[in-house]
A and B are shown apart, each in its own frame.
Chain A
Amino acid sequence: MKIIVCVSLVPDSTTKVKIDASGKKIDDKEVSFIINPYDEFAVEEAVQLKEKNGGEVMVVSYGTEKSKEAIKKAFPIGCDKGVLIKSETEDFDAFAVAKNLADFISKQNPDIVFFGKQSIDFDGMQVPLMVAEITGIPCMSVVVKLDITDGKARAEREIEGGKEILEANLPVIVAAQKGLNNPRYPNLKSIMASKSKPIETINAVYSGNKVEISEMYLPSVKGKGKILENGVESVQELVKLLREEAKVI
């Protein structure tokens, strides 16, 4: 089975956002970068599938040289090789990512392509779906359960207050939601063995942005709230405030 998993590098979720001098992006000087948390579920699912059915897992990232870090973080889980689709600039939009990934994926003829359902930086929830429409490969996203049998994929997709049960024939794109599996912690041996795994670098074939960030700003800070200090004695006062002042109940 030929499996591709697409990953991206994002600021750690504990990052406190500061805006840099350009006023258009975060100041990342003191930020630690991690593999996108949703991609960890994608990598784990890809590796489990390989362990069950045989084959290989190729981990792919689009970005600058720095994105190799995301690939390296996926290796010890059990991926076999890496590909960086290299962008000349850090300034690219989701459509450019999707175009380049779609071009690469089409040439590879994979059985399954995994993504995280969204990256936790720009929260777009768009790249897997765009890749799907550009390549014509079926896509199931926000997937919390997956079964691949006899060339068919059956998935549970999370929706408001429930689940959709989806079916598609392979090849298929699957965008992972938290809950799909429990990502393993790599052991020291697999981390050491990963150091020799190859990362091939290829050049991006598409450039050009459809959207442009003109400004990044921090949310407005709220005025000091009314904090009552008398424990259970304050309940009646709180209810009164919610009713009469905030008018929310």
Chain B
Amino acid sequence: MANKILAFAEIKDNKFKSNAYEVISEADRLTKKLGTTYDILAFKTEESELKKLSEYGAEKIFYFDLKELNSLYGENILLSHSAVAKVISSFISKYNYDILMVSGTTTGREIAPRVSALTESAYAPDCVGIFADDGNITISRPVYAGKSYIKVKFNTGKIVLTLRPNVFKSEKSSNPPSALEEINISDYGIQKTDFKAVVKEIVLSEGKLDVAEADKIVSGGRGLRGPENFHLVEELANVLGAATGASRAVVDAGWRPHSDQVGQTGKTVSPNLYIACGISGAIQHLAGMSSSKCIVAINKDKDAPIFQIADYGIIGDVFEILPALTVELKKLLNG
């Protein structure tokens, strides 16, 4: 069958997060447009967790034990992106899948291009729209960090896609529940030499929510006047359960870590709520956040470019408005 789809459902801390549900929901929608079917490939985890995937319309949910894969390396490791890419590629070849869909997380975007090279497939990263016209897949995606978009068509039927997180809707399918099947890693001919680079350790910043994953972001810019004032941004973010972001200017000045930077040389984000505090809105910054669903700007300069893309805004002093907004939201959300 042409256009046979495989969706890779990524796991984090033994659970499937929203990005995994977004990918399988979109795979389900695509099968309906194409008149085809799809399967899921995932790492083994608790059966109850795997079963949650079964309401999203896949025919089968295949899973394999990452620990068993890692044991082929011989030393203690957490992950090898190249080895996982090899397993997925072999699985695709064995069962003749045409299209692979992966979430555009840091892991997904590390593995997907590897699989595309191994299977000689076309690769389109960071998709925000996937279309099927007359059985042909096309996609849309941002380029120049969102300053413009492209529509892409493919010169081959073998395609690998990564989907931008927080863009595609998750919804359960009308199809019957999917069957679960464990696959045996030893059937895929993985050698020690397939583990090219290996992850020995993962160090997570305690309690810190990443801008790339957050559905709400509060960002600060030069208007905060110094790193010592960023507690105002953090306090507002805490009340909202939001991640803290920053403009390039304050990252380059060393006030904030570069992992917080939103914009063309930082992260491109599309949260539900983006609050820009003391950020004038340089074109590089706007590029990285303008696809946010609701943008709120707080700036004392009424002519700041950020107001041109804001859905809501207050013209005024961030040093007065941020504490007041934090207090107001605390009352609302905790009361």
Q: Do A and B come from one complex?
A: yes
Q: Which residues of A contact B (CB under 8 A)?
A: 11, 13-17, 19, 24, 26, 37-38, 93-95, 98, 120-126, 129-130, 132-134, 136-142, 144, 153, 157-168, 172, 177-179, 209-219, 222, 225-232, 234-236, 238-239, 241-243, 246, 248-249
Bound Cα distance A8, B198 (Å) = 28
Cα of A141 to Cα of B106 in the assembled complex, Å: 10
The answer to whether A215 and B117 touch across the interface, beta carbons within 8 angstroms, is no
Specify which of B123, B126, B201, B313 is in contact with A211 (CB 8 Å cutoff).
B123
Is B135 an interface position by the 8 A CB rule? no
Contacts of A217 in B (CB 8 A): 148-151
Please state if B265 and A235 are interface contacts (CB–CB under 8 Å): no
With A210-B156, A211-B153, A246-B311 as given contacts, are A121 and B332 in contact (CB-CB < 8 Å)? no
Shortest Cβ distance from residue A78 to the other chain B in the assembled complex, whole angstroms: 22
In the complex, which residue of chain A has the Cβ closest to the Cβ of B252? Answer: A178
Interchain CA distance A36-B309 in the complex, whole Å: 27
Minimum C-beta distance from A143 to chain B (A): 10
Segment of B60-68, B91-99, B137-145 engaged in the interface with chain A: B137-145
Q: Does B4 contact A (CB under 8 A)?
A: no
Q: Select one of B126, B198, B320, B333 contacting A123, CB under 8 A.
A: B126
CB distance from A83 to the nearest CB of B (A): 22
> How distant is the Cα of A212 from the Cα of B159 in the complex, in angstroms?
13
B313: A residues at CB distance < 8 A: 225-228
A-B interface pairs (CB < 8 A), number: 266
* CB < 8 Å neighbour of B312 from A26, A132, A246: A246
B315-335 with Cβ < 8 A to chain A: 315-317, 320-321, 324-325, 328-329, 332-333
In the complex, which of the residues A17, A165, A248 contacts B148, with contact meaning CB atoms closer than 8 Å? A17
Contacts of A17 in B (CB 8 A): 144, 147-148
8 closest A-B pairs by CB: A231-B316, A138-B196, A162-B204, A210-B122, A168-B197, A126-B113, A133-B117, A161-B210
State the CA gap A95–B159 with chains docked (Å).
Answer: 12
Q: Which chain B residues lie closer than 8 Å to A37 at the CB level?
A: 265
User: Which of these, A140, A161, A216, contacts B143 with CB under 8 Å?
Assistant: A216
Q: Which residues of B contact A172 (CB under 8 A)?
A: 197
From 252 to 288 in chain B, residues with beta carbon under 8 angstroms from any chain A beta carbon are 257-259, 261, 264-266, 268, 272-273, 282-284
The 8 Å CB contact of B240, one of A15, A95, A177, A249, is A249
The answer to whether A213 touches B149 (Cβ under 8 A) is no
Tally chain B residues at the interface, Cβ within 8 Å. Answer: 92
Q: B291's closest neighbor in chain A, by CB?
A: A219
Please tell me if B188 contacts chain A, counting CB pairs below 8 Å.
no
- Given A165-B202, A166-B199, A227-B313, CB of A120 within 8 Å of CB of B265: yes
CB neighbours (8 Å) of B78 from chain A are 164
Given A210-B156, A232-B320, A129–B117 Cβ distance below 8 Å? yes
**Given the complex, which residues of A lie within 8 Å of B105, measured CB to CB?**
160
Does B3 count as interface, using CB distance less than 8 angstroms?
no
Which chain B residues border A212 with CB–CB below 8 Å? 152-155
The docked-state distance in angstroms from the alpha carbon of A241 to that of B302 is: 20
Residue of A nearest to B138 (CB): A214
Which of chain A's residues has its CB closest to B295's CB?
A: A225
Asked if B7 is at the interface (CB within 8 A of a chain A CB), the reply is no
How far, in angstroms, from A11 to B284 measured CA to CA in the complex?
12
- A168 to B198: give the CA distance in the assembly, Å: 7
Complex: A248 Cα to B291 Cα, angstroms:
15
Asked if A209 and B155 make an inter-chain contact with CB atoms under 8 angstroms apart, the answer reads yes
Contacts known (A98-B117, A129-B110, A225-B313); A219 close to B290, Cβ less than 8 A: yes
Contact A137 B196 (CB under 8 A): yes
Q: Given the complex, which residues of B lie within 8 Å of A209, measured CB to CB?
A: 155
- Which residue on B lies nearest to A162, using beta carbons? B204
Taking A129-B114, A227-B312, A249-B329 as known contacts, 8 extra A-B pairs with beta carbons closer than 8 A to each other, sorted by chain A number, are A124-B113, A133-B85, A160-B210, A222-B309, A235-B321, A246-B312, A248-B216, A248-B293
Of the candidates B125, B208, B296, the one whose C-beta lies within 8 Å of that of A124 is B125
Q: For the complex, is B42 an interface residue (Cβ under 8 Å from A)? A: no
Show 23 residue pairs from A and B whose CB-CB distance is below 8 angstroms, ordered by the A residue.
A95-B116, A95-B123, A123-B143, A123-B145, A124-B125, A130-B113, A132-B114, A133-B85, A133-B113, A133-B117, A158-B259, A164-B78, A167-B198, A210-B121, A211-B155, A212-B155, A216-B143, A225-B313, A231-B315, A238-B325, A246-B311, A248-B293, A249-B329
Contact B312 A95 (CB under 8 A): no
B175 at the interface (CB under 8 A from A): no
Chain A: which residue is nearest B106 at the CB level? A159
Least Cβ–Cβ distance between B116 and chain A, in angstroms: 7
Minimal Cβ-Cβ distance residue in A for B240: A249
CA distance A177 to B251 in the complex (A): 14
Interface centre among B121, B313, B314 (most CB of A within 10 A): B314
Interface string of B298-312 (1 = CB under 8 A from A): 000010000101111
Cross-interface CB contact of A226 among B145, B264, B311, B317, cutoff 8 Å: B311
Q: Which residue of B lies closest to A236 (CB)?
A: B328
Find the B residue at minimum CB distance from A235.
Answer: B324
Residues of A within 8 A of B72 (CB): none
Could you tell me the distance between the alpha carbons of A19 and B213 in the complex, rounded to whole angstroms? 31
Q: Is the CB of A243 within 8 A of B311?
A: no
Contact B202 A163 (CB under 8 A): yes
Contacts of A123 in B (CB 8 A): 125-126, 142-145, 268
